[in-house]
Amino acid sequence: MDQASKRGNASARASRLRIELTRPAIRSSAPRTQKTIDPFARYDNLREKGVWFNIPGPADTIDQDKGGVRSALADVGIGYIGWTYNSFANNLLPNAARSTIANQLYMGQNPTFASANFMIVTYDLSRFGISDGQIIVGAEQQYSTWDRLGPDRLGLNTLAYYQTFFDRTLELKLGYLRNQNEFTGTLFGGITGSNMSALFQGGMSTNAAPTPAVNLKYNFDDRLYNKVSVQRSISPDGAYAHISENPSGLNWSTANAGILLVEEAGYKSKAAPGVADTWLRAGVGLNSGRYTNLADSKQQRESGNNFHYIAADRQLWQSDALGSPSRGIYGGFSVMGAPPERNRISRYYELRLYAKGAFDSRPSDLIALVASNTSWSKFAVDAALAKGQLAHRETTAITGSYTAHLAPGVYAGVGLSYIHNPTSITHRPQIEHALNLLVSTLILF
């Protein structure tokens, strides 16, 4: 019995040994599922929060993480993004009525170059237990050969604090803000982005003219929202006057500026397989600033101005629903309005049709066709006619463009824009039409 027990134990040990020897082979032949790790995912929380557009991540920059500088900064909660946007416009019509730079009346009348350069730095406060907390500091430098696009400046772009409450139901952002990036934007950028001049004249702050503001956004769910702002308006005389008076952007206010209240309600859903990208929004603004009365310029400035807008963008077709659902064809429109007795632009209409990633070989390129109509204040037009000047009541433009993603962080755009009455209200017979060649570059780092 002892011998039989020993032989049985030896046989059992041999069986276990054969099982253990065969297990590696079994494991090696079994299929493995490896999860792809995005090396840039760690930087997502360091992008600026609260703006309506997606700030590019380090993967779409020219430097990415070369030298480990971005990683070292991220380790202590610091993120950054910088970019330079350069544009050129030139009227191709043979009788373009060239002028001296001092007397240029519209972009492209003379070959016109403009450059805007930005640097945004963020600091992550969520590391201290503040929900989505972030400090944002930014600077902007701009230059153009046509002074009316400027004036040239180097100054503050933003100085802001952001955090969320109640499981991201409520978003708070305050500081020196540029609300053009917080309200009514479009789903695409580039050289054919929506004209927001109708809102800037109503006091909304811009990249070159940030102002003190408090923004609150309430998210009813992951799609429906309501956003309000209490903002110190820019100058009632326009962005040019505001920047001339406050080029650094640090002043609390400018002459005759008041308080601007903005409210926007919207519905926004991101593209997903079988789900179209959609953004519907409508807003109003009320400004207490003191404006010139265009119906009677001899009167003293009067308080009160307002604007309203409605806009929609919808993905009409998905070209790669499973792989990249945001690719496809989009359509959209914008309508903006303001009282003609306070504002030179009384109505602005825009229709747009654009395609993201229309070609499989160019999945990040953008093709756009944009038509717009600007109605000028009837009071300002009548006043110009009374002085014996040539004046027009509308400006119409049709623009086609192609923006190519050439490399990480490098974009280039080219387009043509036909404009009937390219100047503001008054004109000369030689400048009723323009066919502008548009060229732009965008480099991110």
**Domain assignment present for 333:** yes
pLDDT band for position 158 (cuts 50, 70, 90): very high
How far is it, in rounded angstroms, from Cα 401 to Cα 415? 4
Instruction: Compute how many other C-beta atoms are within 10 angstroms of the C-beta atom of residue 297.
Output: 10
Question: Residue 206 is part of which domain span?
Answer: 38-444
Q: What is the pTM of this model?
A: 0.87
Q: How many domains does the chain have?
A: 1
> Is 5 inside a domain boundary?
no
- Provide mean pLDDT across the span 161-188: 92
Evaluate whether residue 233 is within a structural domain. Answer: yes
Mean pLDDT along residues 215-226 = 98
State residue 35's pLDDT score.
52
Return the pLDDT at 194: 55
- Cα–Cα distance measured from residue 218 to residue 227, given in angstroms and rounded to the nearest whole number: 6
Q: Is residue 369 part of a domain?
A: yes
Give a yes or no: residue 391 inside a domain: yes
Is residue 3 domain-resident? no
> In this structure, which amino acid lies at residue 402?
Y
Q: What is the pLDDT of residue 147?
A: 82
Task: Tell me, yes or no, whether 416 lies in a domain.
Answer: yes
Beta bridge partners of 411: 405, 442
Q: Residue 132 is part of a domain; what is its CATH number?
A: 2.40.160.180
Give dist(CA 144, CA 422) in Å, integer.
Answer: 18
10, part of any domain? no
What is the residue-averaged pLDDT of the chain? 89
Kindly report, residue by residue over 257-290, the tens digit of the pLDDT.
Answer: 999 999 999 999 999 999 999 999 999 999 999 9
- Residues 131-140 have pLDDT tens digits of 999 999 999 9
User: Residue 33: what pLDDT?
Assistant: 45
Q: Which string of b and e fits 216-250 if b means at least 16 CB within 10 Å?
A: ebebeeeeebebbbebbbbbbbbbbbbbbbbbebe
**Burial (0-12, 13-18, 19+ Cβ within 10 Å), 37:** exposed
Task: Give the pLDDT confidence score for residue 28 in this predicted structure.
Answer: 43
Asked if residues 346 and 377 have their Cβ atoms less than 8 Å apart, the reply is: yes
Convert the pLDDT of each residue in 368-394 to its tens digit. Answer: 999 999 999 999 999 999 999 999 999
Does residue 335 surpass a pLDDT of 90? yes
**Residue with the larger pLDDT of the pair 1 and 63:** 63
Sequence-ordered list of residues with C-beta below 8 angstroms from that of 280, at least 6 positions apart, any chain: 266, 267, 268, 311, 312
